[in-house]
Amino acid sequence: MSADRIGSNSLPLTQDFLAQMLGTRRSSVTVAAGMLQKAGLIAHSRGDVKIIDRPLLEEAACECYRIMRRQTKKWRADAVKLLCGSAHSYVAYRD
């Protein structure tokens, strides 16, 4: 979801910060990142995570990502309707 927000496949995130966001230990993030890297889905180094294969990464994610993405689109469309009267008037709308 961070990549969706910043519009880039390169994320300036440390494993320590990811662990804090997820409420887990840094060692758990290290293991998970290693598995994702070994599968060719991401590349990670100190303070940087790069998404290598977005479609496969999305496929590997639980349904939570798809649910949140759908809900975020709905919230954006609702906000645009409220502010502008039409979802079609928001040119910068992104997936």
* Domain housing 10: 1-61
**Residues in Cβ contact with 47 at an 8 Å cutoff, skipping those fewer than 6 apart:** 12, 13, 14
pLDDT tens digit string along 37-91?
A: 999 999 999 899 999 998 898 888 888 778 888 888 888 888 888 888 654 555 5
pLDDT of residue 61: 83
83 and 73 share a domain? yes
pLDDT of residue 9: 78
29 and 71 share a domain? no
79 and 54 share a domain? no
pLDDT of residue 59: 86
Q: The domain that contains 2 carries what CATH number?
A: 1.10.10.10
Tally the domains of the chain.
2
pLDDT of residue 72: 84
37 and 81 share a domain? no
- Distance between CA atoms of residues 90 and 58, nearest Å: 26
pLDDT tens digit string along 52-65?
A: 998 898 888 888 77
Say what the pTM is. Answer: 0.67
70 and 38 share a domain? no
72 and 42 share a domain? no
